[in-house]
Amino acid sequence: MEYRRIGRTDLKISSLCLGTMTWGSQNTAEEGHAQMDMALDHGINFFDTAEMYAVPASPDTSFRTETIIGEWFARTGNRNKVILATKAAGPGDYVKHIRGGPRFDRHSLQGAVEGSLKRLQTDVIDLYQLHWPERTTNYFGRLSYKHRDGEDGIAISDTVAALKELVDAGKIRHWGLSNETPWGTMSFLREAEKIGLAPPASIQNPYSLLNRSFEVGLAEIAHREHVDLLAYSPLAFGMLTGKYRNNQWPKGARLTEVKQFSRYTNDQASAATEAYCQLAEERGLSPTQLALQFVTTRPFVASNIIGATSLSQLEENLKSVDLPWDRDLEKALEAIHTRFPYPAP
Given 53, 139, 207, 264, the catalytic residue: 53
Is 53 a known active-site residue? Answer: yes
The identity of residue 57, as a single letter, is A
SS (H, E, C) 133-196: CCCCCCCCCCCCCCCCCCCCCCCHHHHHHHHHHHHHCCCEEEEEEECCCHHHHHHHHHHHHHHC
Beta-carbon contacts of 123 under 8 Å, excluding residues fewer than 6 positions away, are: 117
Q: How crowded is the C-beta side of 229, counted as CA atoms within 13 Å?
A: 31
- Among 145, 266, 128, which residue's Cα sits nearest to residue 210? 266
Most distant pair of Cα atoms in the chain: their distance = 55
On the question of a cis peptide bond just before residue 287, with omega within 30 degrees of 0, the verdict is no
- Among 203, 256, 75, 233, which residue's Cα sits nearest to residue 141? 233
How far apart are alpha carbons 280 and 43 in whole angstroms? 26
Catalytic residue list: 53
